[in-house]
Amino acid sequence: MYCINCWHDNTRVTDSRTSEDWKAIRRRRECENCHNRFTTFEKIETTDLIVEKSWNRKQRYDRDKLEDSILKAVNKRNISISSISDLIRKLEFKWWNRNEITSKEIGKDVLDSLFLLDEVAYIRYASVHLNFANSKDFIEFINKKNFS
């Protein structure tokens, strides 16, 4: 990286952090020639993530659609929007280097994350993702999970 002051080609990184949205890396640098300090941002380049749905249908990943489904599951559960955004960001960071993912994998990852966040939201999301047909399905699911 070239120094923005003297154009010397040797700078060292003094501090490195990911941005709040996990889409960039902020680096503090210092020129070894003139000791000028400056900040750079490295954007993480992602490819379009394709979601394979049932019957081999494919569509682009839609963050808003995922967020809406999670918001429905956490409705009236006193869970902050920032917690949901963090959950989604962590999942996207896990998937960012892939080109394709199945909707079942997304659902499983969301379920695993919701289980740690809120048990009721977990069960609500599971009822849609796993297509519960009646109350018996709820009871079987809850008995299998052994909630503490």
Residue 45, pLDDT above cutoff 70: no
Taking residues 68-74, what's their average pLDDT? 96
Report how far apart, in Å, the C-alpha atoms of 73 and of each of 87, 89, 111 are.
13, 17, 10
pLDDT band at 26 (very low <50, low <70, confident <90, very high): confident
Residue 52 forms beta bridges with which residues? 58, 102
pTM over 0.95: no
What's the pLDDT at 131?
A: 93
Chain length of the chain: 148
Q: What is the pLDDT of residues 108-143, one digit of tens each?
A: 999 999 999 999 999 999 999 999 999 999 999 999
